[in-house]
Amino acid sequence: MSTEARIKLRELRNARAAAERRRTKRVRLAASGGGLIIVGLLAAIVISLINAASDDSSPAARSGKAPAIATAGGALALGNAAAPVKLEVYLDYMCPYCGRFEQANSGELDKLVADGTVRLELYPLAFLDRASSGAKYSTRAANAVAAVADRAPDKVLALNAALFANQPEEGSRGLSDDEIATLARNAGVPANVVDDFTARGFEPWIATSTQAVFDKGISGTPTVKINGKVFEGDLYTAGPLTAAVTAAKGQ
C-alpha cells in the first residue's frame, strides 16, 4: 500500500472515530435531558401540591375559623354534653318570630341548660342579611355571638338575650357595631372579647354554617328540634316547649 493510501485510510478511520464520539455524546445528552425533564416534572407536581394545600380559596379555608365550642354541623354547643335532651335552636337575630320565641322560652331554656337537662345547640344564622338594607345585620350579630362563644362561652346566652331584647325592626339597618358592642359589655362580656367583634373573624364560618343549614333542609327560623325531631308545638307561648323537653327526658 502506498504512503498516500495509508494516509487516506488513517484519515478515514479518524473521521469515523470522531463521528462515533459525537453520536455517543448525543445519546448521553439525550439521556441526561430526559432525566432533567423527569426531575422537572416531579418538582412541578410537588410545588403544585404545596400551593393547593396553602390555597386560601379552598373550601376548607373559605369556611373560616370556627368558635371553640362549635360543632361540626355549625352549632354553638352549650351545657352538659351528656344531657339527656339535645335541643337544637335555629335562629336569626333579625327574625321577628325568633324574637317572640326568645321572649316566651329563654327563661326556661336557661334553667334547663343550667340544671343539666338540656344540651343546647344554638345555630346563629344569616338568613335575613337581605332584610337589613345592605348592612348585613344578621351576619354581624351572629359574628359577635360566635366571638363570645370562642372566648367567653358562659356569656353566650346573656348576649343572645340582649340582642333579642333590643332587636331591630326587620328591614332596618339593624344595630350598629358600637351598639352591639355596648350590649355585649352590659351583658358581662370581657372588653378584650368585645374588641374582637369588628375584626369579623367568624363571618366566613357564619356563611358556611348558614349554607350547611340550608342544605340539610332548614328553610326558616325559628326551627327547634328535640333529640333530632322537629318540634311542631307552639313556639311562641311559654310552657309547651318545656313540657316537650321534660317528656323527652323521661323517654
The residue with cell 338575650 is: 161
The residue with cell 333590643 is: 166
| Domain boundaries defined on the chain | 1-54, 76-249
pLDDT tens readout for residues 71-90: 999 999 999 999 999 999 99
pLDDT tens readout for residues 198-243: 999 999 999 999 999 999 999 999 999 999 999 999 999 999 999 9
70: DSSP letter: B
pLDDT more than 90, % of the chain? 74
Burial tier of 202 (Cβ tally within 10 Å: 0-12, 13-18, 19+)? buried
pLDDT tens readout for residues 27-81: 454 445 544 444 344 444 433 433 433 344 333 334 579 999 999 999 999 999 9
Q: Is the confidence at residue 184, as pLDDT, over 70?
A: yes
Q: What is the mean pLDDT of residues 122-150?
A: 97
Q: What is the mean pLDDT of residues 88-114?
A: 97
Q: Domain 76-249 carries which CATH code?
A: 3.40.30.10
Cβ atoms < 10 Å from Cβ of 166: 15
Q: What is the mean pLDDT of residues 142-171?
A: 98
